[in-house]
Amino acid sequence: MAFEPGCSRVTLLGKKQFDLQTGQGIAGATTTTWNYDPYRGWLASKRYADNTGPTYSNTPAGRLAGRRWARTVGAQPLSTTYLYNPAGDLQTVDYSDATPDVTYGYDRLGRQVSISSSGMTLNRVYSPSGLLLAERYTGGVLGGLAVTNLYDAVLRRTNLAVWRGSSRLYSVDYRYDPAADWPW
């Protein structure tokens, strides 16, 4: 891996073919380069050995605004647009092809309480102290599933369970060593 002065470019030299048993590259040298905006430091593009790769854009606040992919559909590069709410939280991910868009919802404390895409929604419920109590799915292949968490008086998780309706599908209990904060 090579870094250029000013950290505007990072280059990784690798292999195109790998030995899956050892995890070692065995043939076909390749180069991947990450290019950064020299003034702000944000990732501007990623380039593979054939000089293709995604290009990124950012909002004035530095949040990811868009990604133009190397892949094309009908000779048009795919693109992804990221939209944010006034608090700066990611609200929508919009894809230029048939990939379903994703929408995020937040409560007034800025906690993510919903994620929706393609007819499926994940809703989250939090305790007053901000601990995740439950995630419930509606619609789609996960519709009807829920994951719940229970906590003790010092806010350590004591139980995690997966439910379909009122039937518990899976559960695990956590116990803690009284002399330490480690589960056993």
What's the pLDDT tens digit per position in 5-36? Answer: 555 667 766 656 666 777 666 666 778 889 99
**CB count in 10 Å sphere of residue 54:** 19
Question: 150 has which bridge partners?
Answer: 159
Measured between alpha carbons, how far is 12 from 2 in angstroms, rounded to an integer?
Answer: 7
Tokens of 136: 């419930």
Could you tell me the pTM of the whole model? 0.78
Tell me the domains of the chain and their CATH numbers: 100-184 (2.40.128)
Q: Specify the pLDDT at position 71.
A: 87
For the purposes of burial, counting CB atoms within 10 Å of the CB of 122, is it exposed (0-12), middle (13-18) or buried (19 or more)?
buried
Q: Which residue type does 33 have?
A: T
| Angle subtended at Cα 120 by Cα 116 and Cα 121, rounded to the nearest 5 degrees | 50
Q: Specify the pLDDT at position 181.
A: 62
H or E element: which one contains 77? strand 76-84
Interval 66-95 mean pLDDT? 93
Contact 146, 162 (CB under 8 A): yes
Low-confidence winner among 45-54, 110-119, 152-161 (lowest mean pLDDT): 45-54
Phi and psi of 142, rounded to 5°?
A: -95, 0
Map residue 76 onto helix, strand or coil.
strand
More confident residue, 178 or 152: 152
| CA dihedral sign, ordered 95, 97, 98, 99 | negative
Contact 132, 148 (CB under 8 A): no
Q: Which residue type does 35 have?
A: N
Measured between alpha carbons, how far is 68 from 74 in angstroms, rounded to an integer?
Answer: 15
